[in-house]
Each structure stands twice: as C-alpha cells, then as structure tokens.
Amino acid sequence: MKLGQSLSASPGAVFDLFDPGEQTTFLSAMDTSRSELSDRFTASELLNWIVQQRSAFVLMAADIAGFLTRIEASLKGNVEFIVANQNGNDVQIAFGPQIRSLLLVAASWVRQATPDIDKQLEIIKREVAALSRDARPTFVKRDQGIGRQLRDLGDQTGSPIWHMQANLMQRSEREVHPSDIRVMREVRDALALAQQRLEAQLADHPAADAVTQPLRTMGGQIATALRQIEGKASREYGGPPTRLDMRRGRHIELAIGEIESLARQALQMDATGSEVLEAMGLALWKERWRIYELWILCSVCMTFANGCEQIDTLDRINDGRWTLKYTRDPKPAIAFAIGDRWIDLYYQYFQKGTDRANMPDIALRDRTSRRWLAIVDPKMGETYSAKDHQEVCLRYADAFDAQMSAIASYFPEEASVETLAHERSALIFSGLRPASAASLHRALSTAAREIGVPLPSKSVAVLADVSGSTDRHRALIASAVATALANDPQVDRIGSLVASFAETWIAKRSVSDYLASPVLTESGGGTNHKIAFETAVTHLSKVAGEKEIWLFGDGDGAQFDAAAMVEQGIRVRANLVKGPVPASLQDACAATGGSAIALE
C-alpha cells in the first residue's frame, strides 16, 4: 500500500461512481478492462482520476457553496436551490452545510497534484549516488622532510635551484577539500533528521517503511563515502580544489525536505479520502448543465455581493429554499445595495420584442433608473455554433440596451473573449470555467463602474511563502492572509488572488475561494522571491485600477525591483512573521508607496 492511497473502499466501488461516459473514457485511456481494475489500480488512484476528470464542475460546485454560505450569514437555516420546471416538477439541488463541506474537500484535491513520493525519492537517490561518487580525494604534491627544508632555503635565498631540488623529492598525497566533507556531513544529517521526523509522522502507517527505508539506505551510502574521505581533509596551503559545490548539497537538502511536505499532503489525502468518495457519489453530478448555469448565476451574484453593503433575498428564500423558475419570472431573485444604489438581479426575465420575445437567464438592473446594467446568458450545449452565440448576444444587446450583454459558454475548452461590433459592450465568453471566471467578473465590474456603481477595484496578488523555512509559521501566515483580506473592503475578491510559492509559483486561488477555506498549500524546499514577484506582476499587468502585491513570509532573501513596481503602478506590502524587518526591504516597499511590517 502506498502512502496517500489508504482508502478503504474497493477499486470497483469507486469505479461504480463513474458515469457510463467516464467509465468508457477511463478504460480506453488506461488500456484496461473492468476485470483488471483491482490488479492495476488502487481505490485512491481511481478516486483521484474522477476528481480531476470532474475538476471544473467540482470547483463550480464549491463556488456555489461559497456564495450560499455568503448569503446564509443573514438568514436562519440552510440554503438550497429549488428549480421549478415548466411542467411544474421541482428539482431540489441540495447545498446544505454537510454537502458544502464535502465539496470544499474535493476542491482541495483538484487544486493540488497527487503527491508522488516515489518519484521524489528516485530523484534524491540519483543525486545522492552522484554526490557519493564525486566525493573522492584528489592527488596533491607535498614536500617531505628534507624537501621542506630545501624549499624554505629557496624562499630565503630566492634561488630557484632549491625549489627544483625540493620538487624532485615531492610525494603525491590523496587529499579532500574541507568544504567537500562539510557538504557530505550536512546531507548525511539532513537525511537522518528527515528519517527521524518521518518515522514519527508516519508512525504505524502501513507505508512508513516504503518512505523511510530509502532514506535510511541513502544515509548509509553517504556515511560510507564520508568515512572514506574524512581522514584525508587537507590542512595545508595549496590543497585540492573542491569537488562538491555547496549549492549542490543545499539542493539535495531541499529535495529531502520536500519529502516531508509530500508526506503531509499524502496523509491529508488519506484523512479526507472518505469525504471525497462521498462527494463523488452525490446526485448533483448528474445535473452538470444545471451546475454550470447555477455557477454562472452565483459568479455574477458574487461580483456584486463582494462590493455591497447589504443583500436582500426579497423573500425568495423560504425555509432555506431559494426557488428559481425555469419559466418566465418578472420579479427579481435577489438584490444588492451598493452605495446609494440597489441592483436587482432577475432570473429568466421575459421581455416581448418586435420580432420575437427575449428571456435571458440573468439580467441586472439599477432599481432607481430602471436601466439595465448587464445581461448574461449561459450556454452549456456543445452544439451551439459561434454564429448562434453572436446572434443571441446581439439580439439581447439591442432588446435591453444594457451596458454589457454577454454569452457565457462552457465550450470550447480553450478560454477566450470575443468583442462584437455594437454600441454597447457585447461579449462572447468561450470556455468560461473557474480558471477563467475572472474575465467575466472584470467585464461586469467595468460595466457597473461605467454607470456609477462603485464596486471594489483594488487588485491584489498575495504571495504566501510556503517554503521549508516557514514551516513553523504556516498557520500564522494563513491566518494573517485571511485577516488582511477580510479587513480591506476595497479588495476585488474575485479578480485578486492568493498564491503559494517556494522555489516556483505553486498554486493560486481567488480571494473568495481562499476566505472560504483559508489553508495554504504545503511545499517545503527553498524560496525564489524573484520568480514569485515576476509572476505576480504578470498577473497584475492584465488588470486596470489600483494594484498591490502583499508578501507574507519570513522575509529571508526577499527582494524585488522597486523601480519596476513604481513604473507598473504596483504597491508592495511585506508582512514578515517576525522582526526586525530589514531596512533594505522597508526602503524598497516605501519606494512603491507600500510598507513592511512584522506580524509578531
């Protein structure tokens, strides 16, 4: 049994949760048959496959759950959707607290890759083996006895003949540069410490030996190589060159630390496997087109909910049930107070037209002026053509004269935004899924501001350092990020992001998503602030308005190009887990209009 794959269910039981199309896709992709499942795959491998296969809809469902939690704060009881069909039959789509919890756990599986400890161990094995081979002595010429005296005489008299005679008497000695021995000792100690911590971390786990035994073997390999060179450390001038770069040893130490991080992730997957299994068995996956339409609705709602002072459910939520009609509905489904304005959202609003009637799924209108702010119509079907989308979008744009009219299509897979020729904003969002949802949010925010509705406009890229040096402070950093975001009402919670980084950019989430589940991705390893800042700048370069980068970490080696930040109009705020804050970092942040502080 592998670490991270201790799910108690059988592979067959997990496979039964696949719908027929998913079963066919899996068997074809893996070139297998149902009878071979138990021999070739673990239950966890199958579960992870189906989670990734449904990843877009898992994230949509988690977003829906997040919005319902947002509006539930002002209500008593749970909120579920009741969809009233034209034939009068109601379809209940449950999103109670228990289901929301399951969806959030499943979403966490989507956001992080399955920890491959075996692969990481193989990488370390190769590097340790190479290091052990390279840790060998070098032949160095040394003066012996009378030879030393002759060389001293040559130094005193300046006569080369004495040096020549001393050279004839030299002997070859096998020596090792002291720094090579230090590198080997540090790698040996890192392996021993990781082994000790993992034995405690994986106590009684059936896969513990599969992780700790390779570390024990590598430790023995390093110890053997070290014994062969320790007695040959050079103690004289003119010793051998170094064979082992200090950075090479440090790289191996970081890779060893990554094993501990992967083990924590794997244990977390072990602990949550039963919840994810239950989540994948929910009936709502059979209603994916409804999930998509409800997700678009909740995404639009969240854009305005994050910038409003009050949400009014207009008595549409009774006994925890929010009834949405798939027939004509002339009354608003929900309303948002923003400044001194109320924005009403209609679902399935019907309006007669000259040639034909119009009934978009989502329509937003300013209550006072009666002006339409936005029309958004989701399309889940793969059979719609680009021409169909354009015709519907332009028809709605003409009929409602809204500041923005949009078609939000699930297909094709590649995300894009097409701007149509019209006096108002007319947009086709193709491949609109959670990964590209910010594009719809930005368009809605722009349309709102154009008619004087003041939605939050500050875009923030939060950089949370999850490298090995911040392990002890991970909970503090996660909490500080959540507190800072929750306390700043000007932050655009959908257009902004929270990114975890170490040596590379590891994971990113929207602010709304992070606040719903304020947990940082585990990593370990080293820290590369340069790449983190460059990636944050790339993200912020796509947005207009006020822009900031918030760094949370230990500040170890934190650096960025202050002049470039000023040129881009980006403020930098550094939040270090402990002081004192380096003066250089304070000056750099201040130059951008930001600040640098210690959290404790």
Output the CA–CA distances (angstroms, integers) from residue 454 to 182, 344, 451, in the order listed.
61, 15, 9
pLDDT at 77 over 70: no
In the structure, what pLDDT confidence band is assigned to residue 361 with cuts at 50, 70 and 90?
A: very high
Tell me: the pLDDT tens digits for 160-197?
Answer: 887 787 677 777 778 899 999 999 999 999 999 999 99
Tell me: the pLDDT tens digits for 256-311?
Answer: 988 988 888 888 888 899 999 999 999 889 889 989 999 999 999 999 998 899 99
pLDDT at 414 over 90: yes
Residues 223, 58: Cα–Cα separation, whole Å: 48
What is the rounded average pLDDT of the residues 142-154?
Answer: 74
Residues 287, 272: Cα–Cα separation, whole Å: 24
Q: Is there a contact between 175 and 140 (Cβ–Cβ < 8 Å)? A: yes
Identity of the amino acid at 342:
W
Q: Which residue has the tokens 């250089």?
A: 584
> Which domains are assigned to the chain?
11-114+276-287 (no CATH), 117-137+176-271 (no CATH), 303-450 (no CATH), 459-598 (3.40.50.410)
Structure tokens at 331: 């009354």
In the structure, what pLDDT confidence band is assigned to residue 74 with cuts at 50, 70 and 90?
A: low
Residues 438, 493: Cα–Cα separation, whole Å: 10
Structure tokens at 43: 């239950």
pLDDT at 260: 86
In the structure, what pLDDT confidence band is assigned to residue 87 with cuts at 50, 70 and 90?
A: low
In the structure, what pLDDT confidence band is assigned to residue 416 with cuts at 50, 70 and 90?
A: very high
Share above pLDDT 70 across residues of the chain, in percent, rounded to a whole number: 95
Q: Which residues, 6+ apart, have CB-to-CB distance to 301 below 8 Å?
A: 67, 71, 334, 336, 345
Find the range with the poorest average confidence among 3-7, 70-74, 235-239: 3-7
pLDDT at 466 over 70: yes
φ/ψ region of 321 (left if φ > 0, alpha if ψ in -120 to 50, else beta) reads beta
In the structure, what pLDDT confidence band is assigned to residue 1 with cuts at 50, 70 and 90?
A: very low
pLDDT at 225 over 70: yes
Average pLDDT taken over every residue of the chain:
89
Residues 271, 266: Cα–Cα separation, whole Å: 9
Find the range with the poorest average confidence among 26-40, 71-85, 584-598: 71-85
Residues 489, 502: Cα–Cα separation, whole Å: 28
pLDDT at 2: 64
What is the rounded average pLDDT of the residues 308-336?
Answer: 86
Alpha helices in 306-424 (DSSP H): 386-400
What is the rounded average pLDDT of the residues 31-37?
Answer: 95
Residue 16, Cα to own-chain centre: how many angstroms? 30
The strands making up 459-465's β-sheet, listed across from edge to edge, are 505-510, 497-501, 459-465, 547-553, 570-576, 595-598
Tell me: the pLDDT tens digits for 89-141?
Answer: 666 777 888 888 999 899 989 987 778 899 999 999 999 999 999 999 988 87
